C-alpha cells in the first residue's frame, strides 16, 4: 500500500488555543476523511495541546511543533524541547523552515542538530529546504537544496521517520508559486541527494509555497510530489478542507 499523501498546515504565529479549537470544530464538519491521506497541523507551541485534544478521537491526523531546540532541558528561555512537545501531544516537528533560517538566522549546523534531536526523541522530522529568489535567478537552486539536505541529513539512518518539504522562499506568502513542473524538477533533485545520502527512495517530499485550493490538484498530479505544506490557506477552515479534499 502506498504511503499516504500528506497535507500539512503550518499556522505560524496564529491561532491561540481557543481559536484553534473553534477552527477544528468547523474543519471537522467540512472534512471528508478517506484512505491514503494524513492531515498534519503545526500550531504555535501554546496551542499544541489544544489541537491534540480536539483531534484525539479522530484518525488520519497528526499534530506537530513548528520548531524544536536540541537540548533536552535546561535554562533556554523560550525554547521547546522534544520532550515538551511530545508531552503536549506532538508527534512531529518542522525543522529548518525558511522563516527560521532567514528571519531568525538559523544555520545549517543548527538545523542538523535539531533534526537529530527530533529523530532521537521519537518524533517525525519534517525538514524544510528551499532557495531564495536571488539564488533561483542565479541558477543555484540545486546547489542550495543539496547543501541544506547534506548538512541536515548526513549520518541519518535509513529507517528514520523523515519527510522533506521543498519550499521555495520566493513563493512563501507572495502569491507566487512554482509551476507543478518546476516543483517536480526540484523534487527529483531532492530524491537524487537523498539516494546519495543512503536514504530510501520512498522518502516523502512535500511542496510548500502559496498553495491554494485552485492549484493544489495540479501540484499533487506531478510525479514525486507526495503532499503539500500550507501556510496562509490553512488558516481558514473552508479553504483548508478544500485543499485536503484534493489529490
Handedness of CA 159, 90, 94, 221 (dihedral sign): positive
Q: Which residues pair with 40 in a beta bridge?
A: 8, 62
Task: Tell me the C-alpha to C-alpha distance, in Å, between residue 63 and each of 11, 60, 118.
Answer: 11, 10, 14
Active-site pick, 49, 106, 131, 167: 167
167 is catalytic: yes
Widest CA span of the chain, in angstroms?
49
* The C-alpha cell that represents 107 in the structure block: 544555520
97 is catalytic: yes
End-to-end CA distance of the chain: 16
Active-site pick, 54, 97, 106, 187: 97
Indicate which residues carry an active-site annotation: 97, 167
Amino acid at each position: 500500500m502506498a504511503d499516504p499523501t500528506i497535507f500539512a498546515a503550518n499556522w505560524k504565529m496564529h491561532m491561540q488555543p481557543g481559536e484553534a479549537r473553534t477552527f477544528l470544530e468547523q474543519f471537522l464538519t467540512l472534512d471528508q476523511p478517506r484512505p491514503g491521506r494524513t492531515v498534519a497541523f503545526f500550531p504555535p507551541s501554546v496551542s499544541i495541546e489544544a489541537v491534540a485534544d480536539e483531534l484525539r478521537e479522530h484518525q488520519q491526523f497528526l499534530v506537530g511543533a513548528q520548531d524544536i531546540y536540541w537540548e533536552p532541558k535546561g535554562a533556554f528561555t523560550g525554547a521547546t524541547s522534544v520532550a515538551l512537545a511530545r508531552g503536549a501531544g506532538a508527534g512531529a516537528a518542522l525543522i529548518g523552515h525558511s522563516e527560521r533560517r532567514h528571519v531568525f538566522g538559523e544555520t545549517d549546523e543548527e538545523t542538523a542538530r535539531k533534526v537529530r534531536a527530533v529523530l532521537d526523541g521519537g518524533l517525525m522530522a519534517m525538514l524544510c529546504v528551499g532557495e531564495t529568489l536571488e539564488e533561483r535567478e542565479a541558477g543555484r537552486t540545486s546547489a542550495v537544496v543539496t547543501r541544506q539536505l547534506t548538512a541536515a541529513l548526513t549520518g541519518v539512518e535509513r529507517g528514520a521517520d523523515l519527510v522533506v518539504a521543498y519550499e521555495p522562499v520566493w513563493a512563501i506568502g507572495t502569491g507566487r508559486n512554482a509551476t507543478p513542473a518546476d516543483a517536480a524538477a526540484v523534487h527529483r533533485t531532492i530524491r537524487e541527494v537523498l539516494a546519495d545520502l543512503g536514504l530510501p527512495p520512498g522518502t516523502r517530499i512535500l511542496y510548500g509555497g502559496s498553495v491554494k485550493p485552485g492549484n493544489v490538484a495540479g501540484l499533487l498530479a506531478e510525479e514525486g510530489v507526495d503532499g503539500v505544506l500550507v501556510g496562509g490557506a490553512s488558516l481558514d477552515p473552508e479553504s483548508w478542507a478544500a485543499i485536503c479534499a484534493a489529490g
